[in-house]
Protein backbone atom coordinates (compact mmCIF):
# COMPACT_ATOMS: atom_id res chain seq x y z
CA UNK A 1 0.00 0.00 0.00
CA UNK A 2 1.22 3.53 -0.81
CA UNK A 3 0.62 6.72 1.08
CA UNK A 4 -2.12 8.98 -0.24
CA UNK A 5 -1.60 12.64 -1.19
CA UNK A 6 -1.52 14.83 1.88
CA UNK A 7 -0.36 12.03 4.18
CA UNK A 8 2.68 12.69 6.33
CA UNK A 9 5.92 11.46 4.77
CA UNK A 10 9.25 11.57 6.59
CA UNK A 11 11.99 13.19 4.55
CA UNK A 12 15.15 11.08 4.41
CA UNK A 13 17.22 13.74 6.15
CA UNK A 14 14.63 14.92 8.66
CA UNK A 15 15.54 15.04 12.33
CA UNK A 16 14.06 12.07 14.17
CA UNK A 17 11.77 13.41 16.89
CA UNK A 18 9.24 10.58 17.15
CA UNK A 19 10.59 7.04 17.04
CA UNK A 20 8.92 3.63 17.41
CA UNK A 21 11.19 0.97 18.92
CA UNK A 22 10.01 -2.61 18.47
CA UNK A 23 11.73 -4.85 20.99
CA UNK A 24 12.45 -1.90 23.25
CA UNK A 25 12.08 -3.95 26.44
CA UNK A 26 14.78 -6.44 25.43
CA UNK A 27 18.50 -6.66 26.11
CA UNK A 28 19.61 -4.09 23.52
CA UNK A 29 16.28 -2.26 23.36
CA UNK A 30 16.38 -1.04 26.95
CA UNK A 31 19.84 0.38 26.41
CA UNK A 32 18.83 2.06 23.17
CA UNK A 33 15.87 3.72 24.88
CA UNK A 34 18.11 4.89 27.71
CA UNK A 35 20.62 6.29 25.22
CA UNK A 36 17.97 8.17 23.26
CA UNK A 37 16.37 9.54 26.44
CA UNK A 38 19.75 10.78 27.67
CA UNK A 39 20.63 12.59 24.45
CA UNK A 40 20.48 16.38 24.29
CA UNK A 41 17.74 16.35 21.65
CA UNK A 42 15.85 13.50 23.28
CA UNK A 43 13.22 12.26 20.82
CA UNK A 44 9.84 10.90 21.82
CA UNK A 45 10.20 7.12 21.92
CA UNK A 46 7.28 4.69 21.83
CA UNK A 47 7.88 1.13 23.03
CA UNK A 48 5.08 -1.42 22.62
CA UNK A 49 4.86 -4.36 25.02
CA UNK A 50 2.19 -6.99 25.54
CA UNK A 51 2.33 -6.81 29.32
CA UNK A 52 4.07 -3.57 30.34
CA UNK A 53 5.08 -3.65 33.99
CA UNK A 54 5.69 -0.78 36.34
CA UNK A 55 9.28 -1.89 36.89
CA UNK A 56 10.15 -2.18 33.21
CA UNK A 57 13.14 0.04 32.57
CA UNK A 58 11.90 2.02 29.53
CA UNK A 59 8.85 3.15 31.53
CA UNK A 60 11.13 4.97 33.96
CA UNK A 61 12.81 7.06 31.25
CA UNK A 62 11.74 10.54 30.28
CA UNK A 63 10.46 10.86 26.72
CA UNK A 64 9.83 7.09 26.56
CA UNK A 65 6.21 5.94 26.33
CA UNK A 66 5.64 2.26 27.12
CA UNK A 67 2.30 1.17 25.66
CA UNK A 68 0.28 -2.02 25.86
CA UNK A 69 0.11 -3.40 22.32
CA UNK A 70 0.50 -6.59 20.30
CA UNK A 71 2.75 -5.84 17.33
CA UNK A 72 1.68 -9.12 15.76
CA UNK A 73 -1.75 -7.58 15.18
CA UNK A 74 -1.58 -5.50 11.94
CA UNK A 75 -4.31 -3.10 13.09
CA UNK A 76 -2.43 -2.32 16.31
CA UNK A 77 0.87 -2.06 14.44
CA UNK A 78 -0.66 0.47 12.06
CA UNK A 79 -1.69 2.71 14.95
CA UNK A 80 1.80 2.45 16.44
CA UNK A 81 3.55 3.31 13.17
CA UNK A 82 1.31 6.21 12.16
CA UNK A 83 2.93 9.62 12.63
CA UNK A 84 6.39 8.31 13.46
CA UNK A 85 9.61 9.63 11.94
CA UNK A 86 11.29 6.23 12.04
CA UNK A 87 10.93 2.66 13.26
CA UNK A 88 13.70 0.60 14.90
CA UNK A 89 13.10 -3.15 14.77
CA UNK A 90 15.01 -5.18 17.36
CA UNK A 91 12.55 -8.08 17.56
CA UNK A 92 14.09 -11.53 17.13
CA UNK A 93 14.00 -15.05 18.54
CA UNK A 94 16.77 -17.64 18.81
CA UNK A 95 14.62 -20.73 19.29
CA UNK A 96 11.56 -22.05 17.49
CA UNK A 97 10.22 -24.10 14.62
CA UNK A 98 9.88 -22.98 11.02
CA UNK A 99 6.52 -21.28 11.60
CA UNK A 100 7.74 -19.35 14.65
CA UNK A 101 10.86 -18.05 12.90
CA UNK A 102 8.80 -17.07 9.86
CA UNK A 103 6.23 -15.25 12.00
CA UNK A 104 8.81 -13.15 13.90
CA UNK A 105 11.55 -12.61 11.32
CA UNK A 106 9.52 -12.45 8.09
CA UNK A 107 5.79 -11.90 8.63
CA UNK A 108 6.32 -9.15 11.21
CA UNK A 109 8.77 -7.38 8.90
CA UNK A 110 6.31 -7.69 6.01
CA UNK A 111 3.54 -6.18 8.16
CA UNK A 112 5.87 -3.40 9.29
CA UNK A 113 6.75 -2.54 5.69
CA UNK A 114 3.08 -2.49 4.69
CA UNK A 115 2.12 -0.17 7.56
CA UNK A 116 5.05 2.15 6.90
CA UNK A 117 4.07 2.39 3.23
CA UNK A 118 0.44 3.02 4.18
CA UNK A 119 1.24 5.80 6.67
CA UNK A 120 4.10 7.46 4.79
CA UNK A 121 6.88 6.50 7.23
CA UNK A 122 10.00 5.91 5.16
CA UNK A 123 12.81 5.22 7.66
CA UNK A 124 13.33 1.74 9.10
CA UNK A 125 16.34 0.60 11.09
CA UNK A 126 16.52 -3.18 11.31
CA UNK A 127 18.88 -5.25 13.47
CA UNK A 128 19.74 -8.56 11.80
CA UNK A 129 22.61 -11.01 12.31
CA UNK A 130 26.00 -11.81 10.83
CA UNK A 131 26.11 -14.70 8.41
CA UNK A 132 22.53 -14.50 7.16
CA UNK A 133 21.82 -16.05 3.76
CA UNK A 134 19.02 -17.93 2.07
CA UNK A 135 21.12 -21.11 1.76
CA UNK A 136 22.27 -21.36 5.39
CA UNK A 137 21.58 -24.64 7.22
CA UNK A 138 19.70 -23.03 10.12
CA UNK A 139 16.13 -21.79 10.15
CA UNK A 140 17.26 -18.78 12.19
CA UNK A 141 19.70 -17.49 9.57
CA UNK A 142 17.43 -18.29 6.61
CA UNK A 143 14.48 -16.47 8.19
CA UNK A 144 16.66 -13.48 9.03
CA UNK A 145 17.79 -13.38 5.41
CA UNK A 146 14.18 -13.53 4.20
CA UNK A 147 13.30 -10.60 6.46
CA UNK A 148 16.15 -8.55 5.01
CA UNK A 149 14.93 -9.32 1.48
CA UNK A 150 11.46 -7.98 2.33
CA UNK A 151 13.01 -4.74 3.57
CA UNK A 152 15.36 -4.31 0.60
CA UNK A 153 12.49 -4.80 -1.84
CA UNK A 154 10.19 -2.36 -0.01
CA UNK A 155 11.35 0.85 -1.65
CA UNK A 156 11.70 2.43 1.81
CA UNK A 157 14.80 4.04 3.32
CA UNK A 158 16.13 1.05 5.22
CA UNK A 159 19.31 0.66 7.25
CA UNK A 160 20.29 -2.86 8.30
CA UNK A 161 22.74 -3.65 11.09
CA UNK A 162 24.02 -7.22 11.20
CA UNK A 163 25.40 -7.91 14.65
CA UNK A 164 27.51 -10.68 16.08
CA UNK A 165 26.53 -12.12 19.43
CA UNK A 166 26.11 -9.21 21.86
CA UNK A 167 27.45 -9.29 25.38
CA UNK A 168 27.09 -7.08 28.41
CA UNK A 169 25.51 -6.97 31.80
CA UNK A 170 22.37 -9.18 31.80
CA UNK A 171 23.23 -10.85 28.49
CA UNK A 172 22.02 -14.39 27.87
CA UNK A 173 25.25 -15.63 26.35
CA UNK A 174 28.31 -15.25 28.57
CA UNK A 175 26.20 -14.99 31.70
CA UNK A 176 24.49 -18.27 30.83
CA UNK A 177 27.83 -20.07 30.65
CA UNK A 178 28.97 -18.35 33.83
CA UNK A 179 25.92 -19.68 35.69
CA UNK A 180 26.45 -23.16 34.27
CA UNK A 181 30.07 -23.10 35.43
CA UNK A 182 28.85 -22.36 38.95
CA UNK A 183 26.71 -25.50 38.88
CA UNK A 184 28.68 -28.07 36.87
CA UNK A 185 32.23 -29.36 37.55
CA UNK A 186 32.77 -29.93 33.81
CA UNK A 187 31.23 -28.12 30.82
CA UNK A 188 30.48 -30.47 27.88
CA UNK A 189 30.27 -28.26 24.81
CA UNK A 190 28.88 -28.82 21.33
CA UNK A 191 30.41 -26.87 18.42
CA UNK A 192 33.35 -25.89 20.60
CA UNK A 193 35.26 -24.64 17.54
CA UNK A 194 32.46 -22.34 16.33
CA UNK A 195 33.76 -18.83 15.70
CA UNK A 196 32.30 -15.64 17.15
CA UNK A 197 33.31 -11.99 17.12
CA UNK A 198 31.37 -10.72 20.16
CA UNK A 199 30.36 -7.08 20.26
CA UNK A 200 29.57 -5.06 23.36
CA UNK A 201 25.87 -4.17 23.37
CA UNK A 202 26.61 -0.49 24.00
CA UNK A 203 28.60 -0.32 20.74
CA UNK A 204 25.59 -1.65 18.83
CA UNK A 205 23.40 0.93 20.58
CA UNK A 206 25.81 3.68 19.55
CA UNK A 207 25.66 2.40 15.97
CA UNK A 208 21.85 2.55 15.89
CA UNK A 209 21.87 6.03 17.42
CA UNK A 210 24.45 7.18 14.86
CA UNK A 211 22.35 5.83 11.97
CA UNK A 212 19.30 7.66 13.30
CA UNK A 213 21.07 10.97 12.75
CA UNK A 214 22.64 10.16 9.37
CA UNK A 215 20.40 10.10 6.30
CA UNK A 216 23.27 8.74 4.18
CA UNK A 217 22.99 5.38 5.97
CA UNK A 218 19.73 4.63 4.13
CA UNK A 219 19.96 1.60 1.81
CA UNK A 220 23.13 0.48 3.56
CA UNK A 221 24.01 -2.63 5.57
CA UNK A 222 26.54 -2.46 8.40
CA UNK A 223 28.25 -5.30 10.22
CA UNK A 224 28.64 -4.92 13.98
CA UNK A 225 31.34 -6.99 15.66
CA UNK A 226 34.05 -6.66 18.26
CA UNK A 227 37.80 -6.46 17.71
CA UNK A 228 38.62 -10.14 18.27
CA UNK A 229 37.53 -13.56 17.03
CA UNK A 230 37.04 -16.34 19.59
CA UNK A 231 36.00 -19.95 19.47
CA UNK A 232 33.00 -20.90 21.57
CA UNK A 233 35.28 -22.91 23.85
CA UNK A 234 37.45 -19.85 24.49
CA UNK A 235 34.41 -17.73 25.36
CA UNK A 236 33.06 -20.35 27.74
CA UNK A 237 36.44 -20.56 29.49
CA UNK A 238 36.55 -16.78 29.81
CA UNK A 239 33.04 -16.68 31.26
CA UNK A 240 33.86 -19.34 33.83
CA UNK A 241 37.10 -17.60 34.79
CA UNK A 242 35.47 -14.17 35.12
CA UNK A 243 32.73 -15.63 37.30
CA UNK A 244 35.31 -17.14 39.64
CA UNK A 245 34.44 -20.74 38.74
CA UNK A 246 37.15 -22.14 36.50
CA UNK A 247 35.85 -25.26 34.79
CA UNK A 248 37.34 -27.56 32.15
CA UNK A 249 35.55 -27.53 28.79
CA UNK A 250 35.03 -30.84 27.01
CA UNK A 251 34.38 -30.59 23.27
CA UNK A 252 31.64 -33.00 22.20
CA UNK A 253 31.70 -34.81 18.86
CA UNK A 254 28.94 -33.80 16.44
CA UNK A 255 26.62 -36.73 17.17
CA UNK A 256 26.80 -36.22 20.95
CA UNK A 257 26.39 -32.47 20.57
CA UNK A 258 23.26 -32.99 18.48
CA UNK A 259 21.89 -35.44 21.05
CA UNK A 260 22.63 -32.96 23.85
CA UNK A 261 20.81 -30.16 22.01
CA UNK A 262 17.83 -32.43 21.24
CA UNK A 263 17.43 -33.18 24.94
CA UNK A 264 17.90 -29.59 26.08
CA UNK A 265 15.42 -28.11 23.62
CA UNK A 266 12.64 -30.31 25.01
CA UNK A 267 13.20 -29.30 28.63
CA UNK A 268 10.60 -27.00 30.25
CA UNK A 269 11.07 -23.28 29.78
CA UNK A 270 13.14 -21.43 27.22
CA UNK A 271 15.86 -23.80 25.96
CA UNK A 272 19.52 -23.03 26.55
CA UNK A 273 20.42 -24.73 23.28
CA UNK A 274 18.67 -26.21 20.26
CA UNK A 275 19.63 -28.19 17.19
CA UNK A 276 18.97 -25.12 15.08
CA UNK A 277 21.50 -23.22 17.21
CA UNK A 278 24.08 -25.85 16.28
CA UNK A 279 23.20 -25.39 12.63
CA UNK A 280 23.68 -21.62 13.03
CA UNK A 281 27.11 -22.17 14.53
CA UNK A 282 28.20 -23.99 11.38
CA UNK A 283 28.43 -20.48 9.88
CA UNK A 284 31.22 -18.34 11.41
CA UNK A 285 29.68 -15.43 13.30
CA UNK A 286 32.38 -13.00 12.19
CA UNK A 287 32.83 -10.02 9.87
CA UNK A 288 32.60 -10.85 6.18
CA UNK A 289 35.02 -8.14 5.11
CA UNK A 290 32.61 -7.07 2.36
CA UNK A 291 30.45 -4.55 4.21
CA UNK A 292 31.08 -1.38 6.24
CA UNK A 293 31.56 -1.90 9.98
CA UNK A 294 31.18 0.10 13.18
CA UNK A 295 34.29 2.09 12.31
CA UNK A 296 32.49 3.47 9.24
CA UNK A 297 29.97 5.00 11.64
CA UNK A 298 32.72 6.53 13.75
CA UNK A 299 32.22 4.03 16.56
CA UNK A 300 35.39 3.38 18.52
CA UNK A 301 35.17 -0.15 19.86
CA UNK A 302 34.95 0.04 23.64
CA UNK A 303 35.94 -3.52 24.43
CA UNK A 304 38.90 -4.81 26.35
CA UNK A 305 38.68 -8.55 26.81
CA UNK A 306 39.69 -9.96 30.16
CA UNK A 307 37.57 -7.48 32.09
CA UNK A 308 34.33 -8.60 33.73
CA UNK A 309 31.01 -7.86 32.06
CA UNK A 310 29.06 -10.53 33.88
CA UNK A 311 26.08 -10.10 36.15
CA UNK A 312 26.92 -9.59 39.78
CA UNK A 313 24.78 -12.61 40.61
CA UNK A 314 27.15 -15.05 38.91
CA UNK A 315 30.41 -13.77 40.42
CA UNK A 316 32.01 -14.84 43.68
CA UNK A 317 32.01 -11.97 46.12
CA UNK A 318 35.59 -12.18 47.40
CA UNK A 319 37.08 -12.92 43.98
CA UNK A 320 35.18 -10.03 42.42
CA UNK A 321 36.28 -7.57 45.10
CA UNK A 322 39.92 -8.43 44.41
CA UNK A 323 39.34 -7.97 40.69
CA UNK A 324 37.66 -4.63 41.32
CA UNK A 325 40.78 -3.33 43.03
CA UNK A 326 42.97 -4.61 40.20
CA UNK A 327 40.81 -2.89 37.55
CA UNK A 328 40.87 0.37 39.50
CA UNK A 329 44.65 0.19 39.69
CA UNK A 330 44.99 -0.59 36.00
CA UNK A 331 42.79 2.36 35.06
CA UNK A 332 44.60 4.71 37.42
CA UNK A 333 47.98 3.68 36.09
CA UNK A 334 46.70 3.76 32.48
CA UNK A 335 47.68 0.17 31.90
CA UNK A 336 44.56 -0.45 29.87
CA UNK A 337 44.39 -0.71 26.10
CA UNK A 338 44.92 2.59 24.32
CA UNK A 339 41.54 2.23 22.64
CA UNK A 340 39.72 2.29 25.97
CA UNK A 341 41.98 4.48 28.12
CA UNK A 342 40.10 7.04 30.20
CA UNK A 343 41.69 9.87 28.22
CA UNK A 344 40.58 8.53 24.83
CA UNK A 345 37.05 9.84 24.70
CA UNK A 346 35.35 10.54 21.42
CA UNK A 347 33.44 13.69 20.48
CA UNK A 348 30.43 14.22 22.69
CA UNK A 349 31.16 11.28 24.96
CA UNK A 350 30.81 11.66 28.72
CA UNK A 351 33.44 10.38 31.13
CA UNK A 352 31.23 7.34 31.89
CA UNK A 353 31.32 6.44 28.20
CA UNK A 354 35.04 6.94 27.72
CA UNK A 355 36.44 3.93 29.50
CA UNK A 356 34.83 0.53 29.09
CA UNK A 357 36.64 -0.93 32.09
CA UNK A 358 35.62 1.94 34.38
CA UNK A 359 31.98 2.14 33.27
CA UNK A 360 31.30 -1.59 33.34
CA UNK A 361 33.18 -2.16 36.59
CA UNK A 362 31.22 0.67 38.20
CA UNK A 363 27.87 -0.82 37.19
CA UNK A 364 28.81 -4.31 38.34
CA UNK A 365 30.32 -3.31 41.65
CA UNK A 366 27.46 -0.95 42.50
CA UNK A 367 25.16 -3.94 42.04
CA UNK A 368 27.37 -5.87 44.44
CA UNK A 369 27.27 -3.06 47.00
CA UNK A 370 23.45 -2.99 46.83
CA UNK A 371 23.16 -6.78 47.07
CA UNK A 372 25.49 -7.10 50.03
CA UNK A 373 24.70 -3.90 51.92
CA UNK A 374 23.84 -4.66 55.49
Q: Which residues of 141-172 are buried (b: 16+ CB within 10 A; e: fewer)?
A: bbbbbbbbebbeebebbbbbbbbbbbbbbebe
Of 297, 114, 315, 97, residue with least CA distance to 207 = 297
Question: What are 231's strand-pairing partners?
Answer: 195
Residue 53: which residues within 8 A CB-CB, separation 6 or more?
59
Dihedral over alpha carbons 362, 365, 370, 372 (to 10 degrees): -170
Dihedral over alpha carbons 54, 85, 143, 72 (to 10 degrees): 50
Of 265, 264, 232, residue with least CA distance to 249 = 232
Rounded CA-CA distance 337/277 in Å is: 33
* Cβ contact 345:372 at 8 Å: no
Burial class (CB in 10 A: 0-12, 13-18, 19+), 308: buried
Q: Which residues of 203-212 are buried (b: 16+ CB within 10 A; e: fewer)?
A: bbbbbbbbbb
Return the pLDDT at 311.
61
Return the pLDDT at 314.
57
Instruction: Identify the CATH homologous superfamily for domain 18-163.
Output: NAD(P)-binding Rossmann-like Domain (3.40.50.720)
Q: Could you tell me if residue 131 is left (phi over 0), alpha (psi between -120 and 50 degrees) or otherwise beta?
A: left
Rounded CA-CA distance 280/259 in Å is: 16
Of 110, 142, 139, residue with least CA distance to 126 = 110
Of 225, 197, 161, 222, residue with least CA distance to 284 = 197
**What is the distance of C-alpha 123 from the center of its chain?**
20
Return the pLDDT at 174.
85
Beta strand pairing call for 166-167 and 199-200: parallel
Return the pLDDT at 316.
53
Rounded CA-CA distance 58/47 in Å is: 8
DSSP secondary structure string for all residues of 332-348: HTT-S-GGG-TT-PPTT
Sequence ranges of the domains in the chain: 18-163
Residue 255: which residues within 8 A CB-CB, separation 6 or more?
none
Residues 69-96 pLDDT 10s:
999 999 999 999 999 999 999 999 999 9
Quote the DSSP letter at residue 3. P
362: three-class secondary structure by DSSP: helix
Residue numbers in the chain where pLDDT is lower than 70: 1-15, 40, 52-60, 302-374
Residues 236-277 pLDDT 10s:
998 888 778 889 999 999 999 999 999 998 888 888 899 999
Dihedral over alpha carbons 222, 225, 228, 234 (to 10 degrees): -140
Amino acid sequence: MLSQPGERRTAPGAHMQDILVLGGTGFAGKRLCASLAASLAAPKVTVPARRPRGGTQPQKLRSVNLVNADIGDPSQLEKLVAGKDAVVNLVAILHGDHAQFARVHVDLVRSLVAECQATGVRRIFHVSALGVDSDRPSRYLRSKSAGETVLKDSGLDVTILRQSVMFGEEDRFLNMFARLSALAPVLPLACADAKFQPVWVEDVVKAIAACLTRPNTASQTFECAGPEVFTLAQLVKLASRWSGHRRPVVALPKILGTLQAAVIEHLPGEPLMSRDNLQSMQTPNVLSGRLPTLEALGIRLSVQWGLPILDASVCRWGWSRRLQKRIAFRCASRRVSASVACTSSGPGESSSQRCFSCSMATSIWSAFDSAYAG
